[in-house]
Structure 1
Amino acid sequence: MIPRLLFACFVLIPFTAGTAVADSPGEIKNVVMIVADDLKASVLGCYGDNVCATPHLDRLAREGMVFRRAYCQGTWCLPSRISFMFGRYQDKQNVTLGQHLQRHGLSSTRVGKIFHMRVPGDIIAGTDGQDHPECWSARFNSPGPEAHTPGEYACLNLNVVTRDLENRQSTRMPHRMFVSVKGDGDGREQPDYKSASKAIELLEQPHDRPFFLAVGLVRPHYPMVAPSDYFDPYTIDRINMPANWHDDTSDIPKLGIANTNNLKNSIGKYPDNQKRMWAAYYASVTFMDRQVGRILDALDDSPHRDQTAVIFTSDHGYHLGEHGFWQKSNLHEEVIRVPLVIRAPGMPSGQTDSIAELVDLYPTTCELVGASVPPAAEGTSLVPVLADATATVKSAAFSFQNGISIRTSRWHLMRYRDGTEELYDMDNDPGETENLAGDDRFADVLTALRKRVDQRKAPGR
Structure 2
Amino acid sequence: MAQRPNIILIVTDQQRYDTIAALGFPYAVTPNLDRLVESGTVFSQCHVTAPSCVPSRASLFTGYYPHTTGILANGQRWQHTWVERLRDSGYRCVNVGKMHTIPYDADAGFNERYVVENKDRYLEGRWYFDEWDKALAANGLVKQQRETYRTRPDYRESLGCFDWELPEALHSDSFVGNFAKWWVNTHPPTEPLFLQVGFPGPHPPFDPPARYSQTFEQRDDLPDTRASAEELATLHPMLQEKRAHDVAVDHDSVVWSLDPTPEQMRRLWAHYLGNVTLIDEKIGELLQALEARGYLEDAVVIFTSDHGECLGEHGLIQKWSMYDAVTRVPLVVWSSAGRFEAGRTVDGQCQWFDLGPTILELAGLAVPADFEARSLLPALEAGEHWEPRRFVFCEQAGDVAMGGVEFITGIRSERWKLVHFKGSAEGQLFDLEDDPGEVRNRWNDPACEGVKRELLDAMREWLIESNLRTRDREAATR
TM-score by length of 1: 0.80
- Offset of residue 178 of structure 1: 3.1
Unpaired segments of 5 or more residues in structure 2? Answer: 71-78, 122-131, 133-143, 249-255, 397-406, 469-478
Paired AA for residue 92 in structure 1: T
State the alpha-carbon separation in 1 of the partners of residues 422 and 376 from structure 2. Answer: 31
Where in structure 2 are the equivalents of 1:82-121 lying within 5 Å?
82-90=58-66, 91-92=68-69, 95-116=80-101
Paired AA for residue 438 in structure 1: N
State the alpha-carbon separation in 2 of the partners of residues 258 and 132 from structure 1. Answer: 35
Asked if structure 2 preserves the Cα contact closer than 8 Å seen for 1:72 and 1:358, the reply is yes
**Which residue, 173, 182, 187 being the options, matches 1:192?**
173
Where in structure 2 are the equivalents of 1:421-436 lying within 5 Å?
421-436=427-442
SS of alignment partner, residue 414 of structure 1: strand
- How many residue pairs get aligned? The number is 408
Aligned to 2:9: 33
Aligned to 1:440: 446
Aligned to 1:220: 202
- Offset of residue 459 of structure 1: 5.5
**Which residue, 50, 69, 77 being the options, matches 1:74?**
50
SS of alignment partner, residue 188 of structure 1: helix
- Offset of residue 441 of structure 1: 1.9
Q: Bigger shift: 419-428 or 317-326?
A: 419-428
SS of alignment partner, residue 399 of structure 1: strand
Aligned to 1:178: 159
Paired AA for residue 115 in structure 1: H
**Which residue, 325, 329, 354 being the options, matches 2:348?**
354
The 1:142/1:263 distance shift into structure 2, 3 A limit, reads closer
SS of alignment partner, residue 305 of structure 1: coil
Aligned to 2:40: 64
Asked if structure 1 preserves the Cα contact closer than 8 Å seen for 2:100 and 2:117, the reply is no
- Offset of residue 425 of structure 1: 1.2
TM-score by length of 2: 0.78
Paired AA for residue 400 in structure 1: E
CA deviation map 1:87-114 (0-9, x unaligned): 1111438950211211222121110101
- Offset of residue 444 of structure 1: 2.4
- Offset of residue 244 of structure 1: 4.3
CA deviation map 1:226-265 (0-9, x unaligned): 2221112112652331274555233332234471369956
Identical counterparts, % of pairs:
26
Paired AA for residue 217 in structure 2: T
Aligned to 1:130: 104
SS of alignment partner, residue 135 of structure 1: coil
Aligned to 1:377: 371
The 1:182/1:243 distance shift into structure 2, 3 A limit, reads closer
- Offset of residue 198 of structure 1: 2.3
SS of alignment partner, residue 162 of structure 2: strand
The 1:134/1:76 distance shift into structure 2, 3 A limit, reads closer
CA deviation map 1:346-374 (0-9, x unaligned): 10121111111111111010011111112
The 1:364/1:235 distance shift into structure 2, 3 A limit, reads same
Unpaired segments of 5 or more residues in structure 1? Answer: 1-24, 118-128, 150-162
Asked if structure 1 preserves the Cα contact closer than 8 Å seen for 2:117 and 2:200, the reply is no
Aligned to 2:392: 397
- Offset of residue 72 of structure 1: 0.7
SS of alignment partner, residue 181 of structure 1: coil
**Which residue, 207, 211, 219 being the options, matches 1:229?**
211
